Structure 1
Amino acid sequence: MTTVLLASFLGSLWTVAAVLDAPPSSFLLAWFGIVLALIDLRHHRLPDALTLPLGAALLLLQSHRLGEAALGAAVFGGAHLAVRRFRPALMGGGDVKLAFGLGAPLGLPLLLPAAILSSAVTLVLATLKRSRRVPHGPGLLAATWALTTL
């Protein structure tokens, strides 16, 4: 059942991205995002074997604006690293690594909206699960996909 839902959701995201003529990063984010979000929701972990290749691929896809992409990655990842450093209970290391990669397609203008939207998604998840301990990765992935696609 989970596989069917996963495939349906992926198909929906790909269809939206295709209809909107979204950049290649949207398709990559849809594929990795669903898998990573599912893993994070079930196990509260974001495996390096997926987050690091995703970050590298997102940066490479921005080769036409590499300086801006690297700056976005550094600022977005750095902000999450600061939260992790000063309040480790609020954010896991996988979220920080993921944020570095997701900052590349966002660029500077979309970093603040991404932070706000990802926090809102995480709060909705916390409300739905009736828990204060929810992963932030799905929020980061959903916000980045939405902002780079729509």
Structure 2
Amino acid sequence: MTTVLLASVLGSLWTVAAALDAPPSSYVLALFGIVLAATDLRHHRLPDALTLPLGAALLLLEFHRLGAAVLAAVIFGGAHLAVRRWRPHLMGGGDVKLAFGLGAPLALPLLLPAAILSSTVTLVLAAVRRSRRVPHGPGLLAATWALTTL
């Protein structure tokens, strides 16, 4: 059942991306994002075996604007690292590593909207689950996919 649901969501995301003539990073984000979000929701983990290749792939797909992509990755990841250092209980290390990779496809003006949108998704998830302990990875992934695709 879970496999069918994940495949359906992936197909839907790819259909939207194709209809909007989205950049290749949208497809990579959809593929990795579905698996990472499901893993984070279920196990509260973002495995390096998925986050690091995703970050590398997103950076490579931005070769035409590599300097800006690296800068965006450092700023987005650095902001999450600062939150992690300031309040370690609010964010896991996997979220920080994921944020570094997810910064690459975002244009610099989209970094603040990405942070706000990802936090909003996480807060909605907390309200729906009626829990104070919710993963931030799905919010990061959803916000980045939306901002790079739409």
Into which bin does the TM-score normalised by the smaller protein fall?
A: over 0.9
Q: Which stretches of structure 1, 4 residues or more, deviate above 2 A after TM superposition?
A: none
What CA deviation, in whole Å up to 9, does each residue of 1:96-122 have, x standing for no partner?
000000000002110000000000000
Aligned ranges for residues 41-52 of structure 1 at < 5 Å?
41-52=41-52
State the identity as a percent: 86
What is the aligned partner in structure 2 of residue 110 from structure 1? 110
C-alpha distance in structure 1 between counterparts of 2:68 and 2:15, whole Å = 28
What CA deviation, in whole Å up to 9, does each residue of 1:2-46 have, x standing for no partner?
111111000000000000000000000000000000000000000
What is the aligned partner in structure 1 of residue 119 from structure 2? 119
Is 1:64 aligned to residue 64 of structure 2? yes
What RMSD, in angstroms, separates the aligned Cα atoms of the two structures?
0.4
Give the TM-score taking structure 2 as reference length: 0.99
C-alpha distance in structure 2 between counterparts of 1:45 and 1:115, whole Å = 20
C-alpha distance in structure 1 between counterparts of 2:134 and 2:51, whole Å = 18
Letter in 2 for 1:5: L
Aligned ranges for residues 25-104 of structure 1 at < 5 Å?
25-104=25-104
Letter in 1 for 2:127: T
Unpaired runs of 5+ residues, structure 1, are none
Give the TM-score taking structure 1 as reference length: 0.99
Residue 87 of structure 1 deviates from its aligned partner by 0.3
What is the aligned partner in structure 2 of residue 4 from structure 1? 4
Letter in 2 for 1:142: A
Equivalent residues of 1:22, 1:149 under 8 A apart: yes
C-alpha distance in structure 1 between counterparts of 2:4 and 2:47, whole Å = 23
Is 1:148 aligned to residue 137 of structure 2? no
Secondary structure (helix, strand or coil) at the match of 1:106 reads coil
Equivalent residues of 1:73, 1:107 under 8 A apart: no
